[in-house]
């Protein structure tokens, strides 16, 4: 997913729909039609992702066991996959990695279609 696609998808999870403009990247203006200020840059801003993560992490404390059946547990596992770390992925993950793990946790991640030049040659 391109960053703009990720930002749109995360905004739809964490914002009220009526606050999002039709292009999906801005706050709705008070006229109900126009694009206002940009919404949070989830893929580039750790503070924005910290806020978004609250949807998944709830009241999880650092000392709690990670339960893979819970959203928080799924998020930690996804973050471990994205960062390729199994120890404390939260300490090292960038905003972009958190955004990817966030969307994968919610099954909202759409892989990029591979371009023809990226395919393996047919033997």
Contact footprint for Zn ion (CB under 5 A): 21, 23, 26, 35
Gyration radius (Cα) of the chain, Å: 17
Residue nearest to Zn ion (CB): 35
* Shortest Å distance, C-beta 11 to Zn ion: 11
5, 91, 107, 118 from 24: Cα distances, Å? 9, 30, 19, 30
Q: Which is nearer to Zn ion, 26 or 104 (CB)?
A: 26
Q: Which is nearer to Zn ion, 43 or 83 (CB)?
A: 43
Q: How far is the CB of 39 from Zn ion (least distance, A)?
A: 9
How many residues belong to the chain? 123
């Amino acid at each position: 997913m391109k960053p703009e696609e990720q930002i749109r998808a995360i905004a739809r999870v964490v914002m009220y729909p009526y606050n999002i403009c039709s292009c999906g990247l801005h706050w709705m203006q008070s006229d109900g039609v126009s694009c206002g200020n940009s919404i949070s840059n989830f893929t580039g801003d750790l503070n924005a992702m910290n806020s978004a993560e609250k949807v998944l992490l709830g009241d999880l404390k650092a000392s709690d066991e990670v339960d893979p059946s819970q959203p928080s547990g799924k998020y930690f596992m996804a973050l471990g996959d994205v960062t390729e770390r199994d120890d404390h992925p939260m300490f090292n993950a960038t905003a972009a990695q958190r955004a990817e793990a966030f969307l994968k946790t919610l099954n909202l991640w759409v892989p990029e279609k591979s371009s023809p030049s990226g395919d393996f040659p047919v033997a």
